[in-house]
Structure 1
Amino acid sequence: MRNAEATKERILEAALEEFSSYGIAGARVDRISKNAGCNKNLIYVYFENKETLFKTVLEKHLTRVYEEISFTPEDLPGYAVKVFDWAMSHPHIVRLMTWYSLEQKVDNLTERNAVRDKKLKAIKDAQGDGLLGTTFTPGFLMTAIMALATAWTPTHPFGSSHDPDAATNPSGTREAIAKAVSLIAKGEDS
């Protein structure tokens, strides 16, 4: 059983590299099997097809993100900085999510949707308790936070092109993100 699990892990690692580089359509099972050092048929035995393998890789890493970055609506600026730091240090995962957004060939990601809904409810509750402004909806706040926190990643079209010095000053970028999120979270009504 250990060998099967080790093989699955090698496949998932090779698939992360392949999918983050080429997306679902451009990825090749032959390359994944070669880079994983396994027979191509094992990929189909373990994961059925390329789309299921992609979804498995994405869900595995999203679960990791959810575990590593705690969310508290009382500290949205701190959350945004954690997302920024994580995104900058995990470009393969950000590229994988970009490909998912571009291709959307896999089923909805149930856990991702559940985590999103929980965050949106927490923001709504914090707004109801007066901890956050109500100028913006919870969905708008989360979108703004994620857009700001990931804008300087290599796959984002604007951050690096509009602010090329940000890469040489990540602490300044962190501070600016935190301040922007703080202002947005307070809204006009605070």
Structure 2
Amino acid sequence: MADAKATRRRILDAATSEFAARGIAGARVDRIALAAGASKPMLYAYFGSKDQLFDAVFLDHVIANSDRVPFTAEDLPGYAQRLYDDYVNDPALLRLVAWKRLERVSAGYLFAGLEEVDAGNLRRIAEQQEAGSIRPDVDPADVWSLLIAASSTWAQLSITAVAGADDVEDDHRRRRSAVASMVRDGLAVAALPTNEKHAR
């Protein structure tokens, strides 16, 4: 059992590198098998097909991200900072997201199978809107999208600058502060004009 788990992990790790670099269409099962020290038949026995292997890799990174950075609706700025750090430490995640968007889901919801997780996050945002800590004039789904977008400003495929683990700590500190300030000023109740706060 331990050997099977280790083999599965090696295949996932090798597939992560291959898919992140080349996408779904460009990835080659023989390269993944070679890098994992496994045979192609073994890879198919574990994951069924190249498409199913991509799904497993994608889900592995998305769930790991959720586990490493639990959502805190009561502290959006802090969550945004922690998410920034996780994107720096797992550069493959946003590349996998981009490949799935480019090759499979060109519009609409990207995370099939994880709807209930996101639904729970939206419920927590709505609860904090009711409690008065998140501005109520923005739909919870839009709060969530803006929060993720702000946190991924410097992630892989940024159109400005990509943050890397080797960047000096002053740069990371400056970016964390910037994203926290933007989230706090843009999504908190304090960001609303005074007359709008009293009208709600």
Question: With structure 2 as the length reference, what TM-score do the two structures score?
Answer: 0.84
> Alignment partner of 1:110: what SS?
coil
Count matched residues: 183
Among the aligned pairs, what percent are the same residue?
Answer: 33
Q: Which has the higher helix share?
A: 1
Amino acid paired to 1:109: A
Equivalence for 2:132:
130
Instruction: Please state how far the C-alpha of 1:5 moved relative to its aligned partner.
Output: 2.1
Q: Any idea what the Cα deviations from partners look like across 1:18-54, whole Å, max 9, x if unmatched?
A: 0111111111101101111111111111111111111
Amino acid paired to 2:185: L
- Structure 1, 167-176 or 22-31: larger mean CA deviation: 167-176
Q: In the alignment, which of 123, 126, 151 is matched to residue 121 of structure 1?
A: 123
Q: In the alignment, which of 151, 156, 178 is matched to residue 176 of structure 1?
A: 178
1:46 aligned onto 2:46 = yes
Equivalence for 1:19:
19
In 2, the alpha carbon distance for the partners of 1:34 and 1:120 equals 42
Q: CA 1:176 to 1:108, structure 2 compared with 1: closer, same or farther past 3 Å?
A: closer
1:149 aligned onto 2:151 = yes
Q: In the alignment, which of 102, 107, 112 is matched to residue 109 of structure 1?
A: 112
In 1, the alpha carbon distance for the partners of 2:44 and 2:84 equals 35
In 2, the alpha carbon distance for the partners of 1:108 and 1:82 equals 21
Amino acid paired to 2:49: N
Contact 1:80 1:149 in 2 (8 A): yes
Q: Any idea what the Cα deviations from partners look like across 1:90-114, whole Å, max 9, x if unmatched?
A: 1112211221222226x95313x22
Coordinate RMSD, CA, aligned: 1.9
Contact 1:16 1:57 in 2 (8 A): yes
> Alignment partner of 1:151: what SS?
coil
Question: With structure 1 as the length reference, what TM-score do the two structures score?
Answer: 0.89
In 1, the alpha carbon distance for the partners of 2:127 and 2:5 equals 42
Equivalence for 1:79:
79
Q: Which segments of 5 or more consecutive residues in structure 2 lack a partner in the other structure?
A: none
Amino acid paired to 2:9: E
> Alignment partner of 2:186: what SS?
helix
Q: List, as ranges, runs of 4+ consecutive aligned residues in structure 1 with deviation greater than 3 Å.
A: none
Contact 1:141 1:184 in 2 (8 A): no
Contact 1:59 1:109 in 2 (8 A): no
> Alignment partner of 2:154: what SS?
coil
In 1, the alpha carbon distance for the partners of 2:96 and 2:156 equals 12
Q: Which segments of 5 or more consecutive residues in structure 1 lack a partner in the other structure?
A: none
